[in-house]
Amino acid sequence: MQTINCKGTLIDLVRPRVMGIINVTPDSFYDGGATTLEHQIIKQASQMLDQGATILDVGGYSSRPGATDISEEQEIDRVIPAIKAIIKAFPKALISIDSFRSNVVKQAVKAGACIANDISAGKLDPKMIETIGDLQIPYCMMHMRGTPQTMKSLTDYKNITKEVLFYFSERVAAARAHNINDVIIDPGFGFAKTTHQNFELLNHLELFESLDIPLLAGVSRKSMVYKTLDITPKQALNGTTALHMVALQKGARILRVHDVQPAIECIKLFEQLDKPVSN
């Protein structure tokens, strides 16, 4: 299935799409604190939409390794005003709520969000999958072990690709059992995975096409880029773009990014690879 239904709008994923990251957190690994005020949020949303983002992913809980745990109330206080401000400024914007808490998702959908992006695929909140089924919105499920606070120590895999594939077969079955029609899977680069494991997963990404479910790749400025290159996250755009092309060639339909314009350019170049040669 290569379409998702967002508030009655069908998004065709035959052409890869870009999901722009809007972190309304003070402690995200790359841009923490840069978009906590309403005018900053509106400015970033405007820029991302102008540059071609199809979806804006709003998150209020930093999921970087070892991030501080915050309460549900704190998370709601961060994301709901942001979503309302974006919808007021851009009524047609398609907003994803990046949260593993079902009540946060419910409140976000009331405020105008139309997609849920859950780093735990329902593992951290037993009510999540049932909630998504009731809301009838697209559900992006990511692979992770443990929590953001514990995941760094949970990297013991015998065959990471097979284990992540099995994880999704079980999680997708749970979603289907709750009548969730539109599912997206995210292998979870950087979540409970070593740098080597991240690259192993990327190298076998085409195997996930066997699930016949749209695939999201989230490698933007992550440690697999900056640690490999011995640089900082702020210097990791070029490396990110290189891995975006690999992900697209191996079947990714959505790129979740901090930098929309370079990702759009990458997609445009990727699309040229399939064009027939003219005489």
Structure tokens at 144: 């992770």
Q: Please pick, among 123, 145, 253, 256, the residue that the annotation labels catalytic.
A: 256
269 DSSP 8-state letter: H
Annotated active-site residue 222? The verdict is yes
Match 């709750």 to its residue by tokens. Answer: 178
Q: Which residues pair with 55 in a beta bridge?
A: 19
d(CA 174, CA 118): 14
Of the residues 101, 106, 222, 253, only one is catalytic, namely 222
Instruction: Decide if 2 contacts 13 (C-beta within 8 A).
Output: yes
What is the 8-class DSSP label of residue 37? Answer: S
Cβ–Cβ < 8 Å for 22, 48:
yes
8 A C-beta contact, residue 59 and residue 24: yes
Among candidates 185, 51, 47, 54, which has minimal Cα distance to 117?
A: 185
Torsion of CA 64, 67, 69, 75, to 10 degrees: -50
Query: Which two three-digit tokens encode residue 77?
Result: 């206080």
**Which residue matches tokens 């979503």?**
83
Active-site residues: which are they? 222, 256
